[in-house]
Amino acid sequence: MTDEPQSPYPYDEPEKSPVPVEEAGNGNSSEESRSEEPTETPAAPHDPHGLGRTSVGMAAHTAAAVACVPPLIPCLAIYMLEKKNKFVRFYAMQSILLGAVWMTAFALLSLILQGMASPLHWLLNVAWIVLSIILAVNAASGKWFRLPVLGDIAAKLAGVDLDQ
Mean pLDDT of 20-44: 45
Residue 49: what pLDDT? 61
Domain ranges of the chain: 10-41, 60-158
pTM: 0.65
Reply yes or no on whether the pLDDT at 14 is more than 50.
Answer: no
Instruction: Round to whole Å and give the CA distance between 7 and 74.
Output: 26
* Residue 50: count of CB within 10 angstroms of its CB: 9
User: Secondary structure of the chain: what % helix, strand, coil (to 5)?
Assistant: 55, 0, 45
At residue 101, what is the residue type? V
Residue 28: what pLDDT? 52
Instruction: Round to whole Å and give the CA distance between 142 and 129.
Output: 20
Mean pLDDT of 58-63: 80
**Banded model confidence at residue 113, pLDDT cuts 50, 70, 90:** confident
Residue 46: what pLDDT? 59
Instruction: Round to whole Å and give the CA distance between 143 and 117.
Output: 37
Sign of CA dihedral 27, 29, 33, 39: negative
Which tens digit of pLDDT belongs to each residue from 115-163?
A: 677 788 888 889 999 999 999 999 888 888 989 999 999 999 988 887 7
What is the DSSP track for 24-42? HS---HHHHTS-SSPPEEP
Residue 35: what pLDDT? 45
**Banded model confidence at residue 3, pLDDT cuts 50, 70, 90:** low
